[in-house]
Amino acid sequence: MNLNLKAAAQNTYDAIVVGSGISGGWAAKELCEKGLRTLVLERGRDVKHVEDYPTAMKHPWEFDHRLRMPADFDAANPIATKCYALDEATQQFFVKDAEHPYIQEKPFDWIRGYQVGGKSLIWARQTQRWSPYEFEAPARDGFAVDWPIRYADLAPWYSHVEKFVGISGNKDGLPHLPDGEFLPPWELNCLEKHIQGSVRENYANRHVIIGRCAHLTQPQPIHLQQGRGQCQARHLCYRGCPYGGYFSSNSSTLPWAAKTGKLTLRPHSVVHSIIYDEQKGKATGVRVVDAHNKQTTEYFAKIIFVNAACLNSNLILLNSTSQRFPNGLGNDSGVLGRYVAFHNYRGSGGATYDGFQDQYYSGRRPTTAFMPSFRNVEKQETDFLRGYMVAFAASRQQGESREGFGAELKENLTKPGPWGVFIMMQGETVPKAENHVRLSADQKDAWGVPQLITSVGYDDNDEKVFRDFTVQAAEMLEKAGCKNIRMGDSGQAPGLDVHEMGGARMGRDPKTSVLNAWNQVHACKNVFVTDGACMTSVGNQNPSITFMALTARATNRAVEELKRRNL
């Protein structure tokens, strides 16, 4: 008995954070800064900033296959290899298909990064605040449930996060894409500025801006204190940035948390479930399976933050059963695992442009031109709900001419070819009950956890949004004088957007939601969920900055409630 008590004391912390990615890193930073002894559990391996980026400084010719993955790898990984960011230099940061199997009831490409830092090492780094219109949309348009918060509730937390992360961008003054705390922006090139001007002349409600992204264009003292430096415009970000030029948990929040002396980081820790105490009426800890030896250990804390990334957070909550919660922790409503939504990326296209042959650009800018959504912003205007952002980039490919031989050929290969434009959509999908995940009744993974079943698909609204984008994008390119315009449908399955959200949504009513306005489980208030699983709807913006702001807000609330002895 004494030995058990000693073990329990050694495994007891003030707070436990499940997951070390973008939101988990923020939970760790905030909790440690506020004086809480915090345990961060990561199911993958440790990745230390700089020293564990083995390919960061390599040239293409230093790779065995010149950055391409060999055919046998592609054959063994039909899901992971669909991700645009996976290649010979980055494959170490992606979960291979056989490493964590799941069951696709409908096609779903689940892209995962199991390591300290999670997908913060391989994210696309685009950061746009939500506007009041996104928080008000479900109530206004009659889908999902009403968000229990509004933009005003989150605005100061957006600012709090942006200052620490470092976001480059312009103050564009657009009510449907609020301005933030920005570092100097990157610049549109000449053709992008031309298209921007054409859009301004032809459309009253469409605005082209330079993308806002988590890159240090001009590091401030707070960034230098983190040990980070200026972005070098290499655009090799997915390999891990030794300069700390872009934000990741590894370069920023986790080291910051560690400096407090309050952080304990435990990699190779697969969280099986959350422990619920029937007598106390609250969660007391988590059950962990060692990734290597499969031994089970329990850790205890006053508060628990679930930040395992959307679908894994759903999996953990669903697997956390007890007499009080036979269908998953906090699942009194029966909606846990349901209303999963994502971003529609199916539409994209390209075009050429004949002018500006005497102009070029420098570096590899880590962002593109963006156009905030212009459909159904203030009111319903089309035969589909919600809308889409548009992203586009103009560039000149080198080596367009391969004429000649010897020195003449080499000279031709150094000359830039004609201008081309790539354009794509990022469409909002509407959460529906039938889009869900659940646990398999008979198939488990290597750690004894039920496999996840994904049943998430497109609907007629998504098809209409896609078709509208293809028409509007082609029209805008044509009006700008582009030629050889071609639009297409990638046909990709949900999941490949890597923006899945929902399943443990926030809401006002415990009968129709899992979390309250502070990201607390309604019926178990010392458990917080602040990653993509918490989202009531998905907006059209890139979501990560919203996850970070929600996390900072929730941790502040958690500490306040601890001080009041309410948790």
Tens of pLDDT, residue by residue, the chain (567 residues): 444 556 678 999 999 999 999 999 999 999 999 999 999 999 999 999 999 999 999 999 999 999 999 999 999 999 999 999 999 999 999 999 999 999 999 999 999 999 999 999 999 999 999 999 999 999 999 999 999 999 999 999 999 999 999 999 999 999 999 999 999 999 999 999 999 999 999 999 999 999 999 999 999 999 999 999 999 999 999 999 999 999 999 999 999 999 999 999 999 999 999 999 999 999 999 999 999 999 999 999 999 999 999 999 999 999 999 999 999 999 999 999 999 999 999 999 999 999 999 999 988 999 999 999 999 999 999 999 999 999 999 999 876 666 777 888 777 777 888 999 999 999 999 999 999 999 999 999 999 999 999 999 999 999 999 999 999 999 999 999 999 999 999 999 999 999 999 999 999 999 999 999 999 999 999 999 999 999 999 999 999 999 999 999 999 999 999 999 999
In a domain, 193, yes or no: no
Residues paired with residue 287 on neighbouring β-strands, in sequence order: 273, 298
Place of tokens 């306040």: 560
Whether 229 is covered by a domain: the verdict is no
Asked if residue 258 is part of any domain, the answer here is no
Q: Which domain holds residue 32?
A: 2-163+263-341+429-454+497-563
Q: Is residue 156 part of a domain?
A: yes
Residues 22/123, Cβ–Cβ less than 8 Å: yes
Contacts (Cβ under 8 Å, ≥6 apart) of 229: 216, 219, 243, 244, 245
Q: What number of CA atoms fall less than 13 Å from residue 37's CA on the CB side?
A: 10
Give 317's contacts (C-beta < 8 A, 6+ positions apart): 274, 306, 328, 329, 330, 331, 336, 504, 514, 529, 533
Can you give the CATH number for the domain in which 91 is found? Answer: 3.50.50.60
Residue 6 has what pLDDT? 66
Q: What backbone torsions phi and psi does residue 428 show, to the nearest 5 degrees?
A: -80, 135
Look at residue 307 and tell me if it is in a domain.
yes
Looking at the 3D structure of the chain, how many domains does it have?
Answer: 1
Domain annotation covers residue 492: no
Residue 256 tokens read as: 């910051």
Question: Rounded to a whole number, what is the largest CA-CA distance in the chain?
Answer: 84
Instruction: Please state the separation of Cα 362 from the chain's center in Å.
Output: 28
Question: Residue 243: inside a domain, yes or no?
Answer: no
CB neighbour list of residue 70: distance below 8 Å, 6 or more residues apart:
none
What is the distance between the alpha carbons of residues 162 and 289, in angstroms, rounded to a whole number?
35
Task: Output phi, psi for 300, to 5 deg.
Answer: -125, 150
CB 432 within 8 A of CB 465: no
Question: Measured at the alpha carbon of residue 531, what is the angle toward residues 244 and 367, in degrees to the nearest 5?
Answer: 40
Assess if residue 387 is contained within a domain. no
